[in-house]
Amino acid sequence: MKIMSINAGSSSLKFSLFEMNEKNCIASGYFERVGLPGSFYTIKYNGEKIREEVDMPNHTVAVEVLLDRLISIGIIQDLSEIDGIGHRLVHGGDKYKSSVRITDEVVEDLRKYSELAPLHNPANILGIEAIQKALPSVPMVGVFDTAFHQTMDPVQYIYPVPYEWYTKYGVRKYGFHGTSHCYISKQIPRLLGTEEYKAIICHLGSGGSISAVQNGKCIDTTMGFTPLAGIMMGTRSGDIDPSIIPFMMQKEDKTVDEVMDDLNKRSGFLGVSQTASDFRDIYVGITSGNEQCQLAFDKYVQTVVNYIAQYYVELGGADIICFTAGVGENASEARMAIMEKLTCLGVKIDLEKNQIRGKEVKISSDDSNIVCYVVPTNEELMIAEDTLTLIGE
């Protein structure tokens, strides 16, 4: 059985095609600059990478090109081989607590929640509509980034603001990266040999979030009403004093949207280092003696450590800390710096094992009080598995 995972952005479309009998990714690809000049795609298949420039004025055309290339390249022989489509959907509010079959009601709810995710939900809808047009008989499933975190208690998700903000407008912590956190949480019983555990999952990438998970349920997470909250990220500030926003509006004669744009796109690593948003570039700067890059690195590590410590207390201890996503899986320097600051919790690092990049491995020493692992995430497979489950019901 073949399932395709789709992640539609405002000007992009990512896909992965899985043979679910063996949970094997047959092909994957990225369609970029959709609706813009110079649009192109790359497809990875059978150990090769195929790139082609092609005019894609909208997502409908992008999907048509995708389906055509699946056949012309020989990835599949006929579109009837695609048994289901799973869509990554960013925001399902507090209504959607798990993945669902996509219906007209789901699409309308996505439109309603677009005010909470204006950059993502409209793009997700475009992806759904494009697939519906091209493959009207293929069942589709929506997998929400916010769903995994809906097990939080009110004491975690309610903000200390006028309560009617929540009841009238839905102002609360939602959390994001849920598909990744869910995938990692499903690997932990295998790693620990038990279904009962307390885990701190660190999804550290260009965007980043941390979650406290007990026995597969999210207890708390760092991202909030939007993905701007929580730890410092590539270009996002993470948590700041909200009074900074009107202060900077006055000082630089900016609108609230302009200041929010600064916090989302010109802060984090980029803002502090004044050089780069990518961790790899930050570390190159550190090795060449750039003090701003060192400050950005140190600030990043501290924000991650602060939340790990908070969640250790919330959980009443921790059995395992998992590092995942781009930085978490590949930046051994960041993992080491984080773990060294956790020695008061009994965390001990295995320096040799920590040199691994992009592979599942235990990186704590045998006498560490908390087991620490690198666990590569696979959101696309998580989407495909949820899709397979729901279309089989």
> 302 - beta bridge partners?
none
User: Considering 55, 78, 104, 145, which one is annotated as catalytic?
Assistant: 145
Amino acid at 393: E
Instruction: For residues 149 and 156, give the distance between their C-alpha atoms in angstroms, rounded to a whole number.
Output: 10
- Ramachandran region, residue 359 (left: φ > 0; alpha: ψ -120 to 50; beta: rest): beta
Nearest partner of 176 among 238, 261, 266, 112, judged by Cα: 238
Name 103's Cβ contacts closer than 8 Å, sequence gap at least 6. none
Tokens 């979650």 belong to: 211
Q: Count Cβ atoms below 10 Å from residue 83 Cβ, excluding itself.
A: 16
Q: Count Cβ atoms below 10 Å from residue 22 Cβ, excluding itself.
A: 8
Instruction: For residues 356 and 277, give the distance between their C-alpha atoms in angstroms, rounded to a whole number.
Output: 23
Instruction: For residues 354 and 290, give the distance between their C-alpha atoms in angstroms, rounded to a whole number.
Output: 25
β strands within the chain, DSSP E: 2-9, 12-19, 24-32, 40-45, 48-53, 82-89, 100-101, 140-144, 198-204, 208-214, 217-221, 320-324, 361-362, 371-374
Nearest partner of 352 among 336, 330, 341, judged by Cα: 336
> 200 - beta bridge partners?
212, 321
Token representation of residue 36: 């813009």
Active site residue 55: no
Q: Which residues are catalytic?
A: 145
